[in-house]
Amino acid sequence: MSDSGMGCQVYIDGQRLADTADDYSTSTPTVLTGLSFVWGRATVVDQPDVSSCTFAVADKDGDADFLTLLHVGRVVDVRLCRCVGRNRSG
């Protein structure tokens, strides 16, 4: 969460990925940093490139139990949320 109280949540096929320090400390695979989007076009006459979304997932235990969620063809939703205090619901 930023100082502005805004944050984001990452969902794969409707399932929210963990994204807090508490999740990471309990060895849950956690989205931590590196969220970026590439989309659009430089001018109104250019053809748009394929859109992409990237993010890093930390797997503290290294058991890769999140790999069944992350592969080509899955729906990825990133939702902006207004996070108040420790309530991280969107």
Residue range 4-18, pLDDT digits in tens: 566 788 898 898 888
pLDDT at 5: 67
Residue 88 lies in a domain: no
Within the chain, strands assigned E span 6-12, 15-16, 30-31, 36-38, 52-54, 57-58, 76-82
- Tokens coding 32: 């931590």
Its domain, for residue 52, covers 6-82
36-84 pLDDT tens trace: 777 777 788 888 777 777 888 888 887 777 777 788 888 888 888 776 6
Number of domains in the chain: 1
> Model-level pTM?
0.62
Quickly list H helices, 15-86.
21-25
Instruction: Name the band, by pLDDT with cuts 50, 70 and 90, for residue 90.
Output: very low
Q: What pLDDT is stored for residue 88 in this prediction?
A: 46
